[in-house]
Structure 1
């Protein structure tokens, strides 16, 4: 009972803490988009720092609020620690108080950081809709691309730790010494898990980019643009293609980071092997974006449901096999249909079918978007 309560408090306390971080940053910046981007950026930075402290010195995690969630050690008999919960709620309260006083002294609709002055004359790229979208989203796209590369560097360091684990652990060494096939299987399964989780994070980046179309529509900004000679096809496919191209580059940069970081290891993976095993997951990412495209065309008010599916994908990737869940539930995850390179062989018919289905969903979404009314408010 005590461990269950501790676990519940660790998750809920972290949710409250990051809500308070967003509240504080909402006072600093004048628009929700920047606030959201900086909050996710801070979360990503602390996540990367946490991965480093987990691998080197666990005690350093006490200086990172994101590490407090596991330093409570729920379900570890004799090591349950409520200190991290107290720290999390205390920091949340401090952030709430600071946000309150900042809110009292700022103007409505304004932030503490001054907004940058616009150019006297717009760039030529802004005269086209694709250029406008890239101009509005370039900071977030650039930040996510850099974050993907850094995340790849962090993940790449894990390959060296895995090799050390195989060579230094006495039991594992006895099992796998002289058995290169078994050692390769462990390394291959590690790559499958790592690359699939990485691609889910990249998919979340693509969803944020693509769902912006619905966000702009709800704010009645697209309605003003449609007063110009602008087709719905151009709007729809600009958002879709921007998201797809961005996730491809993000996945590539993450894998490039992994390749560079693991170059100093004893068993170095080739650039081709990493790219083949990692880029295949883009098929699943594109399918997720295709589902979102369909939702935006048919039921735009429920487009946020895609986050539920992404959460389901992450859950199945992490715990699906451990919990021995029903096969039909596993099949609901598009990730279960992707060939697990290099453990499995390439399945070109399956991959082709998924990409064709994704294209069909995108086209159906466009047809629905072309015929439906715009969201008002």
Structure 2
């Protein structure tokens, strides 16, 4: 190996660009198209100032602030101010997801697949692979920022001038760069690609939580979150560039930290290695299901705590939400005219939809542990004994269904528990629990989709993540943009009855359950018949 740490970085940049160019273009086109269509829809749906101010009134409450961020320019709610208020945060999260997946795949993922070992056998510097990966990710975020800025500028909306439009894109790209740095650091600390992406997503979730708490009750706290920094640009209102300095400096500091850790560790190992096991194994490890539980133990605890915190953060603002609308005569009339339900009851169904898709993330990750173990050639040790593929597959499936469902229950109970002390008339526990439990079949469908890809074509498991992102966008944006019903109907979450407010459709829930079962059977048959890696 060359003594020059960055030797052959340029060649590796070209290699990774050829490898990921199609993915980069798909991500860029999708996020840009979403941004452009949303801005166009806002301009078309709310052409008059009176209509925009009416929408602004509905956004002036702690629950919406926790969800989408503070409303800058709310007094003069132009299309640009509305776009930044309701879309900047979630678009920045999409960019973060993009960079987390790309960085984890080509850092720790390449080490698991043997690609990094092959590159290290060539005359390449020790830091060349990591540098080239971050360079390609950086170029992807630059392309995304320019693409979004150009698209918004091309709409010729008066409240979205070109300079501010490119600042909007820069805030999104800067957030993506920051979380690329976060992922690069965890790639040096963790021993697996799953652990790397899991910890990075955990930091993303905590950043959202810290920002939500800060925006609602303590503005200073928002400055501790990189997502808060993106919102502090106040795009299309004050157009502040200084928060981008924080994102850039944070990304640079994380990159340098990753470089330092990379030079100190051995290839294939992590700075936080697994502790030695006991001399005598637990009886739990005598079965594939017990082994799956043991391997997933830490992830289950971490995700349970995270979803408990998210549920509590949403529940804690429901009292303020109630007070806000009761003090606003216009909004009170709007709420009273909607089927006799309070605004809080209507808002619960949206929160449950969002939390169910959050719970689907760990559910998929738990099942994909099977693929991760296969990539590390550890399944050979299992199948060397009298263990069937069916038993192993169903063990990981059962763990994903069990703990994925548990995540949703924890978030739901946490939301109810946090809402009780702050509401004058707390919601009935049975109603809240029912509104959360009806989303379990949709989560099971997502696990079934992951099972199909794992069983038939493991290289396409990322499509399940893309489908989950699509589900989030159509469910969240469907109400915001008054989209037709059919985009939501393409997602399992679009077939779940919204409780309270709708009657439980047992037929829909049964159909979702049957679909998840059918997908599981297809995945199992494929897993039994295909060649296993290693």
The TM-score, its normalising length taken from structure 1, stands at 0.92
Please report how far the alpha carbon of residue 254 of structure 1 lies from its aligned counterpart in structure 2 after TM superposition: 0.9
Corresponding residue of 1:260:
417
Matched, 1:17 2:178: yes
Matched, 1:85 2:209: no
Q: Bigger CA drift: 194-203 or 213-222?
A: 213-222
Q: Bigger CA drift: 85-94 or 180-189?
A: 180-189
Q: Deviations over 1:99-139 (max 9, x none)?
A: 22332233333444464232122112112111111111101
Please report how far the alpha carbon of residue 33 of structure 1 lies from its aligned counterpart in structure 2 after TM superposition: 4.1
Distance 1:230 1:308, change over 3 A: same
Partners in 2 of 1:337 and 1:34 — Cα distance?
32
Partners in 1 of 2:531 and 2:277 — Cα distance?
33
- Number of aligned residues: 372
Please report how far the alpha carbon of residue 185 of structure 1 lies from its aligned counterpart in structure 2 after TM superposition: 4.6
Distance 1:115 1:347, change over 3 A: closer
3-state SS of 1:230 partner: coil
Distance 1:181 1:98, change over 3 A: closer
Distance 1:182 1:266, change over 3 A: farther
Corresponding residue of 1:129:
288
Please report how far the alpha carbon of residue 367 of structure 1 lies from its aligned counterpart in structure 2 after TM superposition: 1.6
3-state SS of 1:119 partner: coil
Distance 1:220 1:102, change over 3 A: closer
CA contact (8 A) 1:68 1:88 kept: yes
Please report how far the alpha carbon of residue 15 of structure 1 lies from its aligned counterpart in structure 2 after TM superposition: 1.2
Corresponding residue of 2:209:
48
> Which one scores higher on RCO, CA 8 angstroms, separation ≥ 6?
1
Corresponding residue of 2:14:
none
Q: Deviations over 1:219-270 (max 9, x none)?
A: 2221332121111110111111110110111111111111111112112101
- Identify unmatched segments of 5+ residues in structure 1: none
Corresponding residue of 1:249:
406
Q: Deviations over 1:273-294 (max 9, x none)?
A: 1011111011111111112112
Match of 1:321 among 479, 492, 499: 479
Distance 1:109 1:217, change over 3 A: closer
Corresponding residue of 2:390:
233
3-state SS of 1:245 partner: helix
Partners in 2 of 1:321 and 1:222 — Cα distance?
45
3-state SS of 2:504 partner: coil
CA contact (8 A) 2:194 2:372 kept: no
Matched, 1:298 2:459: no
Corresponding residue of 1:223:
380
Partners in 2 of 1:332 and 1:371 — Cα distance?
30
- RMSD after superposition: 2.1
Corresponding residue of 1:144:
303
CA contact (8 A) 1:156 1:258 kept: yes
Distance 1:138 1:305, change over 3 A: same
Corresponding residue of 2:316:
157
Partners in 2 of 1:287 and 1:357 — Cα distance?
7
Distance 1:176 1:12, change over 3 A: closer
Partners in 2 of 1:215 and 1:114 — Cα distance?
17
Matched, 1:272 2:433: no
Match of 2:362 among 187, 205, 222: 205
Matched, 1:341 2:499: yes
3-state SS of 2:308 partner: helix
Please report how far the alpha carbon of residue 329 of structure 1 lies from its aligned counterpart in structure 2 after TM superposition: 2.5
Distance 1:372 1:25, change over 3 A: closer
Distance 1:354 1:34, change over 3 A: closer
Partners in 1 of 2:426 and 2:305 — Cα distance?
24
Partners in 2 of 1:164 and 1:93 — Cα distance?
44
Partners in 2 of 1:371 and 1:114 — Cα distance?
34
3-state SS of 1:20 partner: helix
Q: Deviations over 1:194-229 (max 9, x none)?
A: 000000000011011111212222222213321211
Partners in 2 of 1:43 and 1:148 — Cα distance?
13
CA contact (8 A) 1:27 1:103 kept: yes
Distance 1:112 1:337, change over 3 A: closer
Matched, 1:288 2:446: yes
Distance 1:192 1:259, change over 3 A: same
Partners in 1 of 2:481 and 2:338 — Cα distance?
27
Q: Bigger CA drift: 39-48 or 362-371?
A: 39-48
Distance 1:35 1:157, change over 3 A: same
CA contact (8 A) 1:185 1:343 kept: no
